[in-house]
Amino acid sequence: MIDVALYLRKARRAGNFSVELIAADLEARLRKDVTLRVVRSPFLSGGVFKRLGTMLHAALCVRARLLHVVGDINFAVLFARRRRVVLTMLDCVFLRDTRGMKRRVLKLLWLDLPLRSAGAVVTISHAMAAEIRRESGLALPQMTVIPVAIAREFQARPKVFDAARPRILQVGTASNKNVMRLAEALAGVPCKLTIVGVIDLALRETLARGNVEFEQFDRLEFAALVEQYEKTDVVAFVSTYEGFGMPVIEAQTVERVVVAGDIPVLREVAGEGAAFAPVADVAEIRAAFLRVIGDAAWREALIAKGRENARRFAPEAIAAQYLAVYRAMLGGG
């Protein structure tokens, strides 16, 4: 049996909702070949000393043949022995909107040094792989692209579309999720918007000014989140930046129509199963929503294409790709 510790950041009250579920799914699907246990850093990712504590904890306190670091704590690999480290790099969002010395420090600790410290580097999309190579300037021939698997809890749940007042689901409220433009685009559109994530006063005021009916949850337990997908009519994901874009695949699996941002990674992940809109153009985002609400034939075609596309992310196939990485690290593949 291959002994793997899947190392994750300490959970925050409000944060990502899907990606870290890779842990439970890998454990379930690889248990015949891999003893996989989830280990969380005891320290939040904030400040020099807490991050140093994460590095030391990962290197000195985690007993496993392989240390597999996932999430936005790439620096956790820095003190570990290279030949036992697998690093899944989700995105380079830490380099966006930063300049000067801060950007140089982030690039060093989250990108350059982790890439040199890992025995195997995995990323979750070809668009992300290209960005990592571009930002790092490294050839990285050992980098492997393995998409994120869809969690088994997401199943096809056909629903009669409510064209009179559709429910629209937005998962995540970080700046890259583009929720302010989404709110502006939905002004005056008869709908009910469900937002999962913390929202600020400016967004509340924009929603009120546009007379957008909405409900908001800071964070949902996973079962409750799945239920929101099943209750909704449209999933909104007009992000300006993503490493992958799990809500797109989750929506396609549940058989809901998606309005997505027209950026390379979402084109890659969604295939032909989404309505795309330029992320900076509120009018075009609005037009995409109005069309999926009003054009039943187009909407059903997108749902059918999404259903087919989601099969690419079958958990069994994703788990097999990680098993190949683990075996190669140990000289067995």
Residue 27: CB atoms within 10 Å? 17
Query: Rounded to 5 degrees, what are φ and ψ at 25?
Result: -70, -40
Torsion, Cα of 119, 120, 121, 126 (10° steps): 150
Q: What is the pLDDT of residue 11?
A: 74
Q: What is the pLDDT of residue 315?
A: 84
Q: What is the pLDDT of residue 12?
A: 66
Residue 311: CB atoms within 10 Å? 11
283: helix, strand or coil? helix
The Cβ-side half-sphere exposure at 67, using a 13 Å CA radius, reads 29
How far apart CA 123 and CA 244 sit, in angstroms, is 9
Low-confidence ranges of the chain (pLDDT < 50): 14-17, 333
92 within 8 A of 77, measured Cβ to Cβ: no
Listed residue (290, 293, 257) closest to 272, CA to CA? 257
